[in-house]
Structure 1
Amino acid sequence: MGVDYYKALQVDRSANDDDLKKAHRKLAMKWHPDKNPTNKKDDESKFKQVLSDPQKRALYDQYGEEGLKGNVPLPTAAGGASFFSSGDGPSPFRFNPTSADDLFAEIFGFSNPFGGGGSASASGGQRFSSRMFGDDMYASFGERGSVGGGSMHHHTVARKVDPIENKLPCSLEDLYKGTTKKMKISRETVDVSGKVMQTEEILTIGVKPGWKKGTKITFPEKGNEHPGVIPADLVFIINEKPHLVFTREGNDLIVTQKVSLADALIGYTVNLTTLDGRTLTIPVTNVIHPEYGEVVPKEGMPLQKDQTKKGNLILKFNVKFPARLSAEQKAGFKKLLG
């Protein structure tokens, strides 16, 4: 193995950089020229220089002083012969602990396999560029889907077609009680052989009590099938049809009734058939004026989130005033209201 550098520096083989520096300072005093005419300090400095270099230190630890001189034995194959020699003599291979750039320069004539700039190396060769094999050897594996314009394509994610929306007309009775609607659709499908066929299908739509205008019911991928794309979702949107008696405002139901001036003044009874077929009799004893409203609790629409609860029924009135009054009628009203 030659000279033991660790022993010469008086340090352990596991010594770190700080240990080496301390040993160097200690021995520098010992090998001072005034005390040592033979000038062994040069040897000590060489030892420190080797052990302070991780690459040289690893080489020394594995092969000793001979390794630093380049006399490194080659690995042998299973049969015992060298991979780079004939097997009947010392290997001609010599290890040179140079940088990676210099190593590439020795082998290829240029350095830095992934560096940019295209500048020349110390050996005069052009630096290895990422663009040496085309515009961009990495981009050739990217979104273009082929290498160098070849036929190696990457997997493309199928695009989903935009949803197909259709209005679903519903009466106020449907939305009050809930109902089931059946819709017949016709669409294109693709069989196992790839043939496109026209098929018909019946879709069942369950309408829940309390659903509002604009509520959407989605049937995933019930649109036309075509190669290379994901079929569109089929979406039905609740469209509330106008009612002859009731108007909906959120969860409340509004009813407007016409009353005469006499009824407005002396009292009026509202008789009403509900959306679920019941008959309501609602007496109004207050004087009815144009802005008056009678509220009947819990006779409105079911709540969409809690169908056991309901909104209110609100009665509004349109008071019919007489076009003219006789003198006798005027006197009577004056006496009544005065």
Structure 2
Amino acid sequence: MATKLDYYAVLEVSREASSDELKKAYRKLAMKYHPDRNPGDGAAEARFKEINEAYDVLKDEQKRAAYDRFGHDAFTNGGGGGPGGFDFGGGFAGGGLGDIFEQMFGDMMGRRGGGSAVRAGSDIQVQVEVTLAEAFSGVKKPVTVRTRILCESCDGTGSKEGEAGVQVCPSCHGAGKVRAQQGFFVVERPCPTCHGEGRVVKDPCASCHGEGTIETTRTLEVAIPAGIEDGTRIRLSGEGESGGKGAPAGDLYVHIAVQRSELFQRDGSNIYVRVPLRMTQAALGTEIEVPVVDGSRAKVKIPAGTQGGEHFRLRGKGFSVLRSSARGDMYVQVVVETPQNLTKRQRELLEEFETEAGEHVKSSPEHAGFFSRVKSFFEGQD
């Protein structure tokens, strides 16, 4: 028995090849050695069968993993003529269990007769960054993607002669699938001759090389609604890769990344901002002006004796609510700063204040509560 070639060598790719690289290599070689392009050439026909067998294994993640680990031995059991014991000739002998499975699963096993398998185009995933202000108000962003569009030269048929050069696959009769028997079970798989497309192209188009689509760059404008949150995914139906003539296009998925703001923090529809206050402002009370996420300003009255960490709520000054005219609230958090780098006079005034304060100045609730708990703690130790 002749030794089988390594499947990766058959497809002329490395063992680390991606699924896309495998697919491109397969299509290139299958087109080159297809029997229709090499009539009467037995060597080309044998090579074509090797290419289909190799791709059939390597395109399947589970089969590929088994092959990488055990080589051709992974498919020596189970009977049949191909990897995993499948019979590429397909079908049961007439009568018996074959007829039973035909009646039970006939509709599930693919179409018979003419027509071609229709496969939708691939989806495209992109990420778009927006600022917090853009997420608040909504914005339109241009998005540039690498995609595939219908080939104009052949109108998506993949054939130099157009529809006239496209033939129904002789192996699957246009179904794009073949059936095989393994033990008592019927297994359905993509047709190895047409790779599930249900058709074969005799003379490929020079522009798309038989693909029916060509790679290009497109720029679209994506409308990002007000109130969008970080991580949201927007779906643009039919804006993905073309599926070829008669097949629906894939979708474009735009993942939104909202940039962090140095000023505001967002929690859903609410906005938080930290505002530093001098010690004297917090003690005596004051009025401050704070920025609002919509670009305006708002005044906040700070009462005398305000403690660090207190929040002041501004209703309706928060973030936009998605698909609504409502807005959340804004919370202003006060951060009381301790003065640093005091002048001699400032230090004298603070020392005078501390001396004057003594027991005559009412302590803050937190101050009084803390020392009350300390006193109780030590009394409990006695």
Picking from 273, 285, 308, the partner of 1:267 is 285
- 5 Å matches for 1:11-90? none
TM-score with structure 2 length normalisation?
Answer: 0.46
Name 1:201's counterpart in structure 2: 218
* Matching of residue 173 in structure 1 with residue 122 in structure 2: no
SS at match of 2:220: strand
* Matching of residue 182 in structure 1 with residue 199 in structure 2: no
SS at match of 2:98: coil
Q: Is the 8 A contact 1:145 1:153 kept in 2?
A: no
Code of the residue aligned with 1:250 in structure 2: it is: G
| Deviation by residue 1:270-325 (Cα, 9 ceiling, x = unmatched) | 22233333222222124321331111111111222321x21111100222235797
> Kindly tell me: are residues 184 and 268 of structure 1, through their superposed partners in 2, closer, same or farther at Cα, counting changes over 3 Å?
same
Shift of 1:218: 1.2
Code of the residue aligned with 2:282 in structure 1: it is: A
- 5 Å matches for 1:136-175? 136-140=98-102, 142=106, 143-145=108-110, 152=112, 158=118, 160=120, 163-175=123-135
Picking from 239, 248, 251, the partner of 1:233 is 251
* Matching of residue 314 in structure 1 with residue 331 in structure 2: yes
SS at match of 1:137: helix
Q: Return 5+ residue gaps in structure 1 as ranges.
A: 1-129, 147-151
**Bigger helix fraction:** 2
Picking from 331, 346, 352, the partner of 1:328 is 352
Shift of 1:329: 3.9
Q: Is the 8 A contact 1:187 1:199 kept in 2?
A: yes
| Deviation by residue 1:244-293 (Cα, 9 ceiling, x = unmatched) | 21111111111101122222111133222333332222221243213311
Instruction: For 1:259 and 1:181, locate their aligned partners in 2 and report how far apart those are by CA, in whole Å.
Output: 39
Instruction: For 1:305 and 1:183, locate their aligned partners in 2 and report how far apart those are by CA, in whole Å.
Output: 22
TM-score with structure 1 length normalisation?
Answer: 0.51
User: Whose Rg is larger?
Assistant: 1
Code of the residue aligned with 1:256 in structure 2: it is: R
Instruction: For 1:336 and 1:237, locate their aligned partners in 2 and report how far apart those are by CA, in whole Å.
Output: 61
> Kindly tell me: are residues 131 and 185 of structure 1, through their superposed partners in 2, closer, same or farther at Cα, counting changes over 3 Å?
closer
Report how many aligned residue pairs link the two structures: 203
* Matching of residue 215 in structure 1 with residue 215 in structure 2: no
Instruction: For 1:226 and 1:304, locate their aligned partners in 2 and report how far apart those are by CA, in whole Å.
Output: 33
Q: Could you tell me the percent identity over the aligned residues?
A: 16
Picking from 296, 309, 314, the partner of 2:314 is 296
SS at match of 1:277: coil
* Matching of residue 224 in structure 1 with residue 241 in structure 2: yes
Q: Return 5+ residue gaps in structure 2 as ranges.
A: 1-91, 159-207, 363-382
> Kindly tell me: are residues 305 and 220 of structure 1, through their superposed partners in 2, closer, same or farther at Cα, counting changes over 3 Å?
closer
Name 2:78's counterpart in structure 1: none
- Which of 1 and 2 has higher RCO (CA within 8 Å, sep 6+)? 2
Instruction: For 1:331 and 1:190, locate their aligned partners in 2 and report how far apart those are by CA, in whole Å.
Output: 86
Shift of 1:174: 0.8
Q: Is the 8 A contact 2:119 2:243 kept in 1?
A: no
